[in-house]
Structure 1
Amino acid sequence: MKNSFTKIAFWLCLLSGISLMYIGINFYVNPVQAELNYGISTSTASDYSFHYIKGIRDFFFGFIIICLLLRKQLNALGWVLLFGTTIPAADLGIVISHPDFSSGHLIAHAIAIVICMACGIYYSRNYTL
């Protein structure tokens, strides 16, 4: 069982890290569409400061996940994921507070919470320093 969850956790973290880096880049390249994909729509008057902040946050978090995973710093990865669960949880709260949210956007953030928690618990408990 441990071996199969080890593989699942590795691939979930790798794909999550790559996805977060893609999302981060997307907030720089296509900020309006990325905002809609996130689950909200705001009037920015062409000021994309929020988008760039969100973009660098997601890119950095994805980069850290991949670096720790590939360097086999799995205990550190576990703790980063556990504390990092606050990010998709806050995102879920932001999206759900938006008047015209859709359940599809909530599902994406909820899945991220589950992945962060499950992999974070697994790595922090099974790979000690």
Structure 2
Amino acid sequence: MKKITHTIAYWICLLTGLGLIFIGARFFFVPVAAEHAFGIQVNTGSNFSFHYIKGIRDIFSGLILTALLLARQYRALGILSLCAVIIPATDMSIVALQPTVQTAALYPHLSAVIIAILLGIYYIRVKVEKKV
């Protein structure tokens, strides 16, 4: 059972990290589409500074998750995941306060909160097997 749980957690974490890198890159390459997928609409007058800030935040988050996972730094990964819950929780709050909010726009943020909490708890508790 531990092996299955570890494999599931590993793949969820890896896919989350890679997904964040993709989402961040999308804010650089197609900022308006990424903005709408995020759940907000901002009249920027073709100034995409906010989008680039959001994009690099997501790319960094995805890279650090993936790097810690591949380096088997599970405790650090767990602590980071629990601390990082503030990001999707705040994002969800911002989207929820939009005058044109659609409930479906909240689900990705809520999913990220749940995933971060579950992975954080799991990786803080996991014991690293020493190779002899």
User: Fold conserved (TM > 0.5)?
Assistant: yes
Alignment of 1:35-46 (within 5 A): 35-46=35-46
TM normalised by structure 1 equals: 0.96
Alignment of 1:33-72 (within 5 A): 33-72=33-72
The alpha-carbon deviation at position 2 of structure 1 amounts to 2.2
The one-letter code of the counterpart of 1:110 is L
Q: CA offsets per residue over residues 41-70 of structure 1, 9 Å max, x none?
A: 010011111100000000000000000000
Output the CA distance in 2 between the equivalents of 1:95 and 1:127. Answer: 37
Corresponding position: 1:123 with 2:123: yes
The alpha-carbon deviation at position 79 of structure 1 amounts to 0.5
For structure 1, the 5+ residue unaligned runs are: none
Query: What is the aligned partner in structure 2 of residue 11 from structure 1?
Result: 11
Q: How many residues align?
A: 128
Corresponding position: 1:102 with 2:102: yes
Query: What is the aligned partner in structure 2 of residue 73 from structure 1?
Result: 73
RMSD: 1.0
The share of aligned pairs that are identical, in percent, is 45
Output the CA distance in 1 between the equivalents of 2:25 and 2:98. Answer: 24
Output the CA distance in 2 between the equivalents of 1:6 and 1:15. Answer: 14
TM normalised by structure 2 equals: 0.94
Q: CA offsets per residue over residues 88-110 of structure 1, 9 Å max, x none?
A: 00000010000111111111110
The alpha-carbon deviation at position 15 of structure 1 amounts to 0.3
Corresponding position: 1:86 with 2:73: no
Name the larger-Rg structure. Answer: 2
Output the CA distance in 2 between the equivalents of 1:79 and 1:127. Answer: 14
